[in-house]
Amino acid sequence: MDQVLNAFKASWKYISFPLFEISGTKISVISVLLCIAFFALSIRLANMAEKFIERMLKDKDLDIGVKGSISRFTRYAVIIVGALIALDTVGISLSSLAALGAVLMVGIGFGLQNITQNFISGLIILLERPIKVGDKVKVQGVSGKVVEIGARSTLIHTRDDIAIIVPNSQFISEQVVNESFSGEQIRLHLEVGVSYSSDPEVVKGILLEIASEHSMVLSDPAPRVFFKNFGDSSLDFALTIWVRELWHYERIMSDLRFAVMRKFKENHIEIPFPQRDLHLRSSDVKLS
């Protein structure tokens, strides 16, 4: 028993031996281990708090983006409080960190600049909510649905079932198209040209009939047909429709194009090929 006690005392002597000192506070191995343990516990509690807030707000009449922002800020708050408690437990106060913070800021400025920029951009996204979870967005040619807004990056799920990780700073510093920003409906345009022998009123009626027959096309706002222009070889029309199924708009447009081809064929309306008139001028060339 005495040997075990002596071994424990010797081990405690080594792990409690001060390694360095910060503003009068001695830091040992046991101090570092306790700090790590408390910080790991705070991360665990933060995840539990985030899930608790998500369950609590699940049935509330709030926007999905607001729910996500509240739960994510709750997680960050618990982590920050836990980190402060962990540091205070080992005797490191905020005032003690001032000197160390000045040195670390230089390292952050050079080595962690990109990470810091993305983290701050993530906070701006959660506060201003230019995008939110569930939105259909397009950034740098990448189009998809926002699945998760993290501290450093945002996860986008494309229509091809591919997950793409986009740094948060791109949503702040670059142009982003948010198809869901003004609501869960969008106007689509279907442009088609018909031959000059076609009756414009008949074409208009067929296009409106095609739109009314599709189950995903909204009746309010109602579909409209515009006579766009007198083209080089066709009369140009545009059918505008409103849909709520933003994720499936490619399928809706494909259905409408199939229907246009079928209806035009049934009504003997021709979609002309581009035409060019070729004029030949005879030359006064003497043949020998």
Task: Give me the CATH number covering residue 10.
Answer: 1.10.287.1260
- Mark whether 28 and 95 lie in a shared domain: yes
CA distance 65 to 55: 15
Residue 159, SS3 per DSSP: coil
CA atoms 102, 103, 106, 112: torsion sign: negative
Task: Report in angstroms the alpha-carbon separations of 259 from 218, 237, 252, 256.
Answer: 17, 15, 11, 5
Considering its fold, how many domains does the chain have in total? Answer: 3
Same domain, 27 and 63: yes
pLDDT number for residue 98: 57
| 69/86 same-domain check | yes
Residue at 276 is within a domain: no
Q: Please tell me the distance from the alpha carbon of residue 51 to that of residue 41, in angstroms, as a whole number.
A: 16
For residue 83, what are the domain limits? Answer: 2-111
- Domain co-membership, 107 together with 141: no
Q: Is 217 helix (H, G, I), strand (E, B) or coil?
A: strand
Contact 29, 14 (CB under 8 A): yes
The span from the CA of 263 to the CA of 269, in Å, is 8
Residues 95 and 171 in one domain: no
Domain end among 111, 142, 164: 111
Is 205 within the bounds of a domain? yes
Token readout for 224 is: 């409209």
Task: Kindly report, residue by residue over 267-279, the tens digit of the pLDDT.
Answer: 999 988 766 666 6
Among 137, 136, 149, CA closest to 66: 149
Residue (of 216, 221, 198, 215) closest to 267 by Cα position: 198
Residues 165 and 227 both lie in one domain: no
Asked if residue 123 is part of any domain, the answer here is no
pLDDT of residue 64: 67
Is 170 contained in some domain?
yes
**Residue 256 and residue 192: Cα distance in Å, rounded?**
11
| Residue 193 and residue 163 share a domain | no
Tell me, yes or no, whether 37 and 136 share the same domain: no
CA 256 to centroid of chain Cα atoms: 28
Residue 195 domain-assigned (yes or no): yes
Is 273 within a domain?
A: no
* Domain-located, residue 91: yes
User: Is 65 in the same domain as 15?
Assistant: yes
106-163 per-position pLDDT tens digit: 655 555 677 778 888 888 887 778 888 888 888 877 888 888 888 788 889 888 888 8
- DSSP for 117-156, please give it: HHHHHHHHHHHH-SS-TT-EEEETTEEEEEEEE-SSEEEE
Q: Does residue 98 sit in the same domain as residue 7?
A: yes
Q: What is the CATH number of the domain that holds 239?
A: 3.30.70.100
Does the pLDDT at position 8 exceed 70?
Answer: no
Model pLDDT, residue 91: 66
For residue 15, tell me if it sits in a domain: yes
Q: How confident is the model at residue 194 (pLDDT cuts 50, 70, 90)?
A: very high
Mean pLDDT rounded to a whole number for the chain: 79
